[in-house]
Structure 1
Amino acid sequence: MSTTKWIIDPTHSEVSFKVKHLVISTVTGYFREFEGAAESSSDDFEGATVSFSANIDSIDTNQKDRDNHLKSADFFDAANFPKLTFSGKIINEGGDYKLVGDLTMRETTKKAEFSVDFGGVAGDPYGQTKAGFEIEGKVNRKEFGLSWSAVTEAGSVVVSDQVRLILNVQIVKQVEEVVEN
């Protein structure tokens, strides 16, 4: 049996989050620095193990004051908890892919499940083999200790508890290892 190692191609990937603001609009942010890897024994990635981390200091919502607030102790507390991490497995249930595993923020780990759209595997003009995935799921930020909250005078919630995580990821084949049984 052989195992193939893959790593995220950061130039062809993005990691974003979306959260409702005042219940009427959505704010989008990005983690600009991240890394990840997968190990797979098949081209359909069934059972592949996945690891991922994002640098909290790389948060970018296109608004510096908001970025600084998200990095503060009110939310991620980047000074004490510099990384968001995930480790898990890809499951293929009759062509419906999902990613299941442990998501950790602020040293709190919770089970998480994400839907996966597997784009397939292709070679690029430089001889590299790549695979593409669109991954999406929701988490409750308060379950991870991101508990800052405020209510407007009219009673509207300023920031929703539910956060959508969206990863558009291209991974690059690194090494194929043959394991003899």
Structure 2
Amino acid sequence: MTKSTWAIDPTHSEIGFKVKHMMFTNVSGKFDQFDALIENEDDAFETSKIDFTAQVNSVNTGNADRDNHLRSADFFDVDNFATLTFKSTGVQKLNEGAFQITGDLTIKDVTKSITLETEYSGQMKDPWGNTKIGLSVNGKINRKDFGLTWNAALETGGVLVGEDIKLVAEIQFVKQ
């Protein structure tokens, strides 16, 4: 068996999320600074070990006031918890190109196991001779499970920020 290492290509990757605002529309955001590495055997995706880190201070929703609030102790508390991490514990092939990645997500000081639905594109060479793979990743977490509990009640009933966070990522990796 030959061990392969794949590094994330940040210029062709986006790590994002969506959350309900006022209970009826989604607000999207992303992390601008992140890193990830995959190690696998004989380029077989189902043998992959995946390590991902995002710099929480790089959260970007396109609104400076909202981003500063997300960085505060009400949410991510970046002064005490600079990163969020994901470390895979298993990759299961469902069918051709479809996988489930299970792993430990850590936000603030809370670690929980989550499962991510993943579409694997296979390998392709770019025009410069680099071997790449692509992943489309989707999942869902409850933000309160990770200590992200701030909210505000609405006069009409309900809350300002939804509990369920949709995770969405489009990622390219380059074989090292």
Question: TM-score, normalising length from structure 2?
Answer: 0.96
Residue aligning to 1:132: 134
Q: CA deviation at 1:53?
A: 0.5
Corresponding residue SS for 1:131: strand
Residue aligning to 1:47: 47
Any conservation in 1 of the 2:4–2:43 contact (CA below 8 Å)? no
Residue aligning to 2:125: 123
Residue aligning to 2:144: 142
The 4+ residue runs of structure 1 with deviation greater than 6 A are none
- Residues 4-19 of structure 1 aligned to structure 2 (within 5 Å): 4-19=4-19
Any conservation in 2 of the 1:108–1:145 contact (CA below 8 Å)? yes
> What is the total number of aligned residue pairs between the two structures?
174
Corresponding residue SS for 1:46: helix
Q: CA deviation at 1:167?
A: 1.0
CA distance in 1, matches of 2:18, 2:47: 28
CA distance in 2, matches of 1:49, 1:10: 19
Can you give the 5+ residue segments of structure 2 that lack an aligned partner in the other structure? Answer: none
1:113 counterpart (104, 112, 115): 115
Q: CA deviation at 1:93?
A: 2.8
- Residues 1-181 of structure 1 aligned to structure 2 (within 5 Å): 1-88=1-88, 89-95=90-96, 96-174=98-176
Identity of aligned residues (%): 43
Q: CA deviation at 1:133?
A: 0.3
User: In the alignment, residue 12 of structure 2 is paired with which amino acid?
Assistant: H
CA distance in 2, matches of 1:157, 1:42: 49
Any conservation in 1 of the 2:99–2:120 contact (CA below 8 Å)? yes
* Backbone CA RMSD of aligned residues: 0.9
CA distance in 2, matches of 1:92, 1:42: 16
